[in-house]
Amino acid sequence: MIIWVMPDSGSRTKEDYARLSALFQKEYPGVDITVRVFTRNILWRKIFTIKNPTPEEEIPDVIQIPHYWTALLTRAGVAENLSKLDPGLSLNNALFPLKPHCYLPGTKDIYSYPWWFDMSALHYRGDHLKLVSSNPEEDLSTWEGLLRICEALKQNFKDNPGYYPMQNSDWRGSLSVRSALCAIWDRGTDLITPDFKQSLVHTEQFKAGIKDYVTLALKNYMPILRERGSLGTMISGKASILMSRKQGVASFDTKRGVRVKTVPVPTTGSVYYSYLSGMNLMINVLSKEKENALAFIKWCARADNQIRYAGMMEVFPAFEDSFEQFIFSSARRLQTYGSILASAKTLPNITVTGTVIEILNKILAVSATQIVEERFTMASLDRELDNASKEIDYLLSLYEG
């Protein structure tokens, strides 16, 4: 059985999946497992080639996908109908925000199954922040306060080579629209209108949200286009703040003297949103091992395996019983993430969402290059977003009209 996944554990990914595979094979000793690891960008490109593979191409059986890919891959004829494989398969125990992203829209047929989820939060080093703020949590509660703190940190650590106030959560140093979503939502707007008929990417509120995020790179508060090493990381003392969907609790606690506190992401308005991102598992329609693939998916959904893997990955279990056990097992985790979950928001499971995210990420990739080359302007970003909005409107007219 071949499983395609993403590098969710970073440098530990292969090791973590080896452990996971070994545990599964103890219960299913006749099943051989091969795990292939791809970045999200590579997986996005490969996912469209598996419907009509060439003879020499590998055919995966199970594929890890972001929650909002389900509708697209179902429509493309890539995802197997899990409800037909097992009519008794249910989402009754799945956490409520994750359920809509498992169905073919407009039906109760399950095409992907929840595995785990994460949600955005802000982590900061208390020892660093006390040098520039008497009330870090209050100062970091708004984007204006975050930028002010970043500037103060930049000046305070100006003699520390390789220091940046903000660690980039992307290991490649990219700018990602997923990291900007909270700022966009806080501005009172979204990517698409609630009826999925029109793009909102051209609106002033959307542009302002994107600019909030881009400003972190523009002002040199966050490193971009450099792979993570000792540069700009909290653990090494080269950064003080991290906006991430991974908990980071275990990573921070393993380093003595590094006391990291976690708070909600900053807001530009009176309310804030946390981005909740679910990871699902789907079965390839071309799989020759659908029975084993379904067994693996159901095994991953079992409470003991949900809790075990969530702990390894520093993410959250996708089902109510395992989530409750997991979050109540740590008073710190419960206190930190209880309120954040209450305000969490997801991207919609519609056909065009994945493509919209790719379009916007390409714009941010160009912006990152322009910033590094010192030729970026907000006006050029405005033009790119206006053009993207027209492209998105066209896609919506084709697939959501």
Segment 266-269 long-range contacts (CB within 8 Å, at least 24 positions apart): 266/122, 266/140, 266/141, 266/142, 266/143, 266/145, 266/146, 267/141, 267/142, 267/143, 267/182, 267/186, 268/142, 268/143, 268/144, 268/183, 268/186, 268/187, 268/208, 268/209, 268/212, 269/186, 269/187, 269/188
Residue type, 122: L
pLDDT for position 253: 55
**CA 161 → CA 157, 168, 221, 239, 243, distances in Å?**
8, 17, 14, 11, 22
How remote is the C-alpha of 64 from its chain's centroid?
A: 13
Q: Give the whole-angstrom CA distance, residue 381 versus residue 164.
A: 24
Is-contact 162 154, C-beta < 8 A? no
Q: Count of CB atoms within 10 A of residue 253's CB?
A: 12
Residue 250: pLDDT over 70? no
As given in the structure block, the two tokens for residue 298 are 């159901």
Residue 333: pLDDT over 80? no
Q: How long a stretch of residues is the chain?
A: 401
Q: Count of CB atoms within 10 A of residue 135's CB?
A: 10
Span 360-384, mean pLDDT?
Answer: 97
Is-contact 27 88, C-beta < 8 A? no
Q: Give the whole-angstrom CA distance, residue 103 versus residue 74.
A: 9
pLDDT for position 269: 76
Q: Count of CB atoms within 10 A of residue 163's CB?
A: 21
Is-contact 359 394, C-beta < 8 A? no
Is-contact 200 206, C-beta < 8 A? yes
For 368-400, b where at least 16 C-beta lie within 10 A, e where not — what string?
beebeeeebeeeebeebbeebbeebbebbeeeb
Backbone angles phi, psi at 353, to 5 degrees: -60, -45
Span 372-390, mean pLDDT?
Answer: 97
Helix (H) or strand (E) holding 338: helix 331-342
Confidence at 251, pLDDT banded by 50, 70, 90: low
Tell which residue, 245, 219, 223, 218, has the closest CA to residue 233.
Answer: 223
Among the residues of 12-52, which ranges form H helices? 13-27, 40-46
Among the residues of 103-260, which ranges form H helices? 126-129, 136-139, 143-156, 177-186, 204-218, 249-253
DSSP state of 79: B
Across 38-158, the runs of DSSP E, i.e. the strands, are 62-66, 113-119, 121-125
Residue 353: pLDDT over 60? yes
Nearby residues of 291 by Cβ (< 8 Å), 6 or more positions away:
none
DSSP state of 276: E
Residue type, 246: K
Is-contact 265 120, C-beta < 8 A? yes
Task: Encode pLDDT of 132-155 as tens digits.
Answer: 999 999 999 999 999 999 999 999
Span 358-383, mean pLDDT?
Answer: 97
pLDDT for position 327: 83
Tell which residue, 215, 212, 261, has the closest CA to residue 241.
Answer: 261
Is-contact 112 318, C-beta < 8 A? no
Measured over the CA atoms of residue 122, residue 124, residue 129 and residue 130, the dihedral's sign is positive
**For all residues of the chain together, what is the average pLDDT?**
92
Task: Encode pLDDT of 16-51 as tens digits.
Answer: 999 999 999 999 999 999 999 999 999 999 988 888
Give 193's strand partners. none
Task: Encode pLDDT of 68-108 as tens digits.
Answer: 999 999 999 999 999 999 999 999 999 999 999 999 988 99
